[in-house]
Chain A
Amino acid sequence: MKKEKISNALNGIDESYVEKAANYKKKKAFMPIVKWGTLAASLAIVIAGTALIMPFLDTSVPPIITEETTSGTENLSESSTERATYTTTTTYWATTYATGTHETIYYEQYFARITEGTYKNYAPMKALQRYEILLGEKIEDVTIRGFWSTNDKTFFEESDYTGKEEIEYLRAEIYAFENISPDVAVLVKYLDKGEALTTDHYYVFVNNNVKNEIETLSDFYEIFNADHYFYVKTSADILISRPDCDDFYKTSDTLVRNLSEKLLSLEGKFLSDGEVGQMKFSKQLTFDIALDSAGAYKGYIGVFNNGYIIFHIYSTNHFSFAFDIGEENATALMSYVEENAELRRSNNYSNDKDYETTLTQTTFTGMTVETTTCTNDTACETVTSAAHRSE
């Protein structure tokens, strides 16, 4: 009866929303990621503590990020996905997000662009504290144009700028990272405090064409100085997904240190988006990483049993870097986790009485996902196609 009431209540929703939804066109999408996405698994990951990804996945409107230590964080739980209105004199739309130890203030409707010169098209990414970086030489002075909307208009990209928004021009200095070429990424230090920017942080700006610099996994590590900036995080469980089961493993300092070392010792060929789009796999290992030099506020790695590894870097932009490390290496990483990490819990779908009818076999072709119904047995024997339980 309750469901019927909800269903009836939905029928009473205004026609305007019905119409808007039917005609709604997503303006800007992330680069598609080849990844399983069962509803159950997604929610479970969030609960497990990967919640940090949420506001930054929500970057159809890229946020500009700053961090501030506050005393109000203890009221919000570590796994909270809640956004609370943050009372501050500096903004009207700032929202807060708790990570357990500090709050992150980010802005949904603010854009910063370098107005001219070599770094004009670099993508603004994470804001870093001075102690988090190896600071190189100052390169030049620039002007940054910041603009933002103060109304409800959704602001997707710079081209949406209509001239009616608020705008500010800020003086800033560009610095190099030590040991990282300015052709890859630079740091911006503001001299003027902006609406959504501080003068205390160093903002990473990454070359949108950075992929052109990469042919191998070693190149990737080298250009971002991974020896210094890359590590596997303990912030979330490690997930191993198979067609009929999601396993969540606890992290530990030793485990992530060893995993980091293993990853840094790997070699592999860079893969184009097209090659990644056509990948097939039946097992995936996922865990969180840090890579500040790439401006990653949220980073995670997907390792697939077909031998592919994909680094996902999220901040105001999303970059993904894929490499072929070989099936043997990929499988070894999975085995290492399975053998050394403590299993926290499993979501097993094979005992689901509806499993046989709801299981779907999924094939990734290009950037689309084609699903066809198959039987439980067939799917479990399938190694060349990904499969997941339909939501």
Chain B
Amino acid sequence: MDDNQIIELFFERNEKAISALSQKHGKLFRKIAGNILKNEADAEECINDAYLAVWNTIPPQKPHSLSSFVSRIVRNISTTRYHHLSAEKRNNFYDTTLDELLDCIPSDETVDDDSAEELSAALNDFLATISEEDAAMFMKRYWYGETVSDIAKEWEMTPHYISVRLSRIREKLRKFLEKRGIII
């Protein structure tokens, strides 16, 4: 069943839409949630919440890319859950991912909450300035939360290569944000 057919099922309010979605893209969603939460039960719960959110969102929305649309919802829910959980215990894996980025974003305690939106816009602009490959690598690491080893394995490169490449991308990002005057 292709994505358009699954979207049709959502529009028909047919519950098979959820199982079809899960069957086709569930593995990706589990990976995204798992990369962030590192806990199968939490990840599964987030995915179920995401499916409910998708059910409530399609219709009226008709996403261009179903997997990306749901991936984003899964990620949103998972990061919310992560931040909730991290108040109680440290999640080493996702923390490390965010730490890498934190190092390259100028910081100021006095700046208020609007900075996330501004940073989003800047990140979008930044991704447009780098090569497709670099953008894909950046997204794999920081959006999908994949480990360096996972990316290395998938791209048949060495972890060292990926690490070095990511550090260069972060350095570019740091300069880009500096130029923009972005502070969080």
| Residue-wise interface mask of A (358-387) relative to B, using a CB-CB cutoff of 8 A (1 in contact, 0 not) | 100000000111010000000000000000
Residue A42 interfacial (CB < 8 Å): yes
A358 CA to B144 CA, complexed, in Å: 20
- Give the chain B neighbours of A154 by CB distance below 8 A: 131-133
Identify which of A18-26, A171-179, A181-189, A216-224 touches chain B.
A18-26
* Residue among A12, A13, A19, A26 with most chain B CB within 10 A: A13
CB contact between A37 and one of B119, B121, B158, B167 (< 8 Å): that residue? B158
A35 CA to B67 CA, complexed, in Å: 35
Task: Tell me whether B171 and A22 are in contact (CB under 8 A).
Answer: no
Task: Tell me whether B163 and A6 are in contact (CB under 8 A).
Answer: no
A102 CA to B82 CA, complexed, in Å: 48
A314 CA to B102 CA, complexed, in Å: 32
Task: Tell me whether A35 and B155 are in contact (CB under 8 A).
Answer: no
Residue B168 interfacial (CB < 8 Å): yes
A181 CA to B28 CA, complexed, in Å: 52
How many chain A residues touch B (CB < 8 A): the figure is: 53
A154 CA to B130 CA, complexed, in Å: 11
Task: Tell me whether A17 and B165 are in contact (CB under 8 A).
Answer: no
Residue of A nearest to B166 (CB): A39
Known: A8-B116, A17-B135, A18-B68. A37 touches B152 (CB 8 A): yes
Task: Tell me whether B136 and A24 are in contact (CB under 8 A).
Answer: yes
A14 CA to B71 CA, complexed, in Å: 12
Residue A72 interfacial (CB < 8 Å): no
Residue of B nearest to A14 (CB): B124
How many chain B residues touch A (CB < 8 A): the figure is: 64
Residue B156 interfacial (CB < 8 Å): yes
Cβ-Cβ contact count across A and B, 8 Å cutoff = 182
Known: A12-B116, A32-B157. A6 touches B164 (CB 8 A): no
Known: A11-B72, A12-B123. A30 touches B136 (CB 8 A): no
CB contact between B163 and one of A24, A43, A367 (< 8 Å): that residue? A43
- Give the chain B neighbours of A11 by CB distance below 8 A: 72, 75-76, 79, 120
- Give the chain A neighbours of B159 by CB distance below 8 A: 35-38, 42, 369, 391
A58 CA to B153 CA, complexed, in Å: 17
- Give the chain A neighbours of B168 by CB distance below 8 A: 54, 58, 81, 83
- Give the chain B neighbours of A38 by CB distance below 8 A: 159, 163
A58 CA to B166 CA, complexed, in Å: 11
Task: Tell me whether B68 and A15 are in contact (CB under 8 A).
Answer: yes
Residue A69 interfacial (CB < 8 Å): no
Task: Tell me whether A13 and B139 are in contact (CB under 8 A).
Answer: yes
* Residue among B79, B153, B159 with most chain A CB within 10 A: B159
CB contact between A369 and one of B135, B149, B167 (< 8 Å): that residue? B149
Known: A37-B163, A57-B165, A371-B149. A21 touches B123 (CB 8 A): no
- Give the chain A neighbours of B165 by CB distance below 8 A: 57-58
| Residue-wise interface mask of A (70-99) relative to B, using a CB-CB cutoff of 8 A (1 in contact, 0 not) | 000000000001110000000000000000
Residue of B nearest to A15 (CB): B68
Residue A137 interfacial (CB < 8 Å): no
A7 CA to B75 CA, complexed, in Å: 10
Q: Measuring CB to CB, which residues of chain A are less than 8 angstroms from any residue of chain B?
A: 2-15, 17-22, 24, 26, 29-30, 32-33, 35-39, 42-43, 46, 53-54, 57-58, 60, 81-83, 152, 154, 354, 357-358, 367-369, 371, 390-391
| Given A12-B123, A26-B156, A152-B132, 6 other A-B residues pairs in contact with their CB atoms under 8 A | A2-B105, A7-B98, A9-B184, A12-B117, A20-B136, A391-B96
The 9 sampled A-B contact pairs (Cβ below 8 Å) are: A2-B105, A5-B116, A6-B184, A18-B68, A20-B139, A37-B149, A37-B152, A46-B167, A53-B164
Q: Measuring CB to CB, which residues of chain B are less than 8 angstroms from any residue of chain A?
A: 28, 64-65, 67-69, 71-72, 75-76, 79, 82-83, 92, 95-96, 98-99, 101-102, 105, 107, 113, 115-117, 119-121, 123-124, 127, 131-133, 135-136, 138-140, 142-144, 147-149, 152-165, 167-168, 171, 184
